[in-house]
Amino acid sequence: MNGPVVALCPCRPGESLDVGPLRAAKTVAGEAGAPVAAILVEAADRQIEQARSEGDLVVWDVRHADLSPLDDAERRGPVFVEALKQSGLGDFRLAVLPAGHVGAALAAAIGKSFDAAVLGACAEIVLTAGGVEARRSTCGGRVEIVVAADGRCVVATRDASQRGPSRRVGEVRPLRLATPLPDRRPVERVGAAGRDRSVATARVVIAGGRGIGGDEGFDRLRDLAGCLDGAVGGSLPAVDAGWVPVSAQVGQSGQFVAPEVYVAVGVSGTPQHLAGVGAAARIVAINTDVDADIFRFADVGIVAAWRDVVPALVRRLRSSPEAFSPDERDP
């Protein structure tokens, strides 16, 4: 098989491009001497430029006459499928998507349309003589397995640590589509008070660990998140204990979060946990153990029990909400 490796990048307005799939595709293709390309659907100019500056690949700037930036994966899947066909990349060896629920839904659509094996969220991806081999974690991150399949494959990845930008900028090719898409599903609007904010997109994340000790502590973290317009996340032990839902687990086997501020409370700071926290986040750590690893990564460290700090912070923020106004901060 000599087909290309293709990064598939769904883009959202106002967000930076997730370069994980792009870099993974470049690395995998580079090692095997295969051609590499990226397909960006409904990307902003800034996102196209980001992909182009990663270099050494062809960037397809795909737009569809009937696609809105907020359409779900059910309508985006057919656009990626058509883009692969019309760009001449339909003979791909490997398609790489971002990890997460959008990537998973798109992977299913592409796997079905191209009769490709869908390997899930992987790392250490390599092309073999007849297919693809990769590592992935399973059982909530407790077990690492090697997955392999022959023929064309689809993987998801969140690993942005691989080959970075190169000096040769990529070539951009526009592609305009107008193929029929499935009908939009009716959308129910839910007020902010009616739902939990997602850790994946929040600008402030309050994460609790084993040191929180129970539901009551997480209620206090939710109070704090409410004052800061933030989301509550947790470490793997906090999820295992049932204090936070698995959808809010931060780390290697959970969500990747990229907030401006990450408040880690009762979290020791293991590599598996911090692998899920974007490098640009400013970390505030609250921990009773002065030697906890989290303090090595924190911009602000408070050596104390959460009970002595979090409720006091909530009282202070509630009494003078102007102390923190997310919309009026400096950029």
Ligand X SMILES: Cc1cc2nc3c(=O)[nH]c(=O)nc-3n(C[C@H](O)[C@H](O)[C@H](O)COP(=O)(O)OP(=O)(O)OC[C@H]3O[C@@H](n4cnc5c(N)ncnc54)[C@H](O)[C@@H]3O)c2cc1C
Which residues lie near ligand X (CB under 6 A)? Answer: 137, 141, 144, 209-211, 235-238, 249-254, 266-268, 270, 272-273, 276, 286-289, 292, 305-306
4 or 233, CB closer to ligand X? 233
- At its nearest, how many Å lie between ligand X and the CB of residue 254? 4
Q: Contact 205/199 with Cβ under 8 angstroms? A: yes
Please, what is the minimum distance in Å from the beta carbon of residue 223 to ligand X? 16
Q: How far apart are CA 58 and CA 251, in angstroms?
A: 32
Q: How far is the CB of 263 from ligand X (least distance, A)?
A: 12
CB of 262 to ligand X, least distance (A): 12
Euclidean distance between the first and the last CA atom of the chain, given in angstroms as a whole number: 48
Entry field: residues in the chain? 331
To ligand X, the closest distance from the beta carbon of 124 in angstroms equals: 13
Q: What is the dihedral of CA 197, 202, 206, 209, to 10 degrees?
A: 80
Indicate the residue among 81 and 283 with the shorter CB distance to ligand X. Answer: 283
Do residues 265 and 221 lie in contact, with contact meaning Cβ atoms separated by under 8 Å?
Answer: yes
In 3D, which of 26, 16, 8 has the Cα closest to residue 78? 8
DSSP-derived 3-state class of residue 145:
strand
Residue 32's SS3 state is helix
Q: Between 57 and 244, whose beta carbon lies closer to ligand X?
A: 244
Q: Based on CB atoms, which residue is closest to ligand X, 50 or 268?
A: 268
Q: Which is nearer to ligand X, 169 or 309 (CB)?
A: 309
Closer residue to ligand X (CB): 39 or 221: 221
Query: Which residue shows structure tokens 């689809």?
Result: 154
- Judged on CB neighbours under 10 Å (0-12, 13-18, 19+), 217 is buried
Least CB distance from residue 142 to ligand X, whole Å? 6
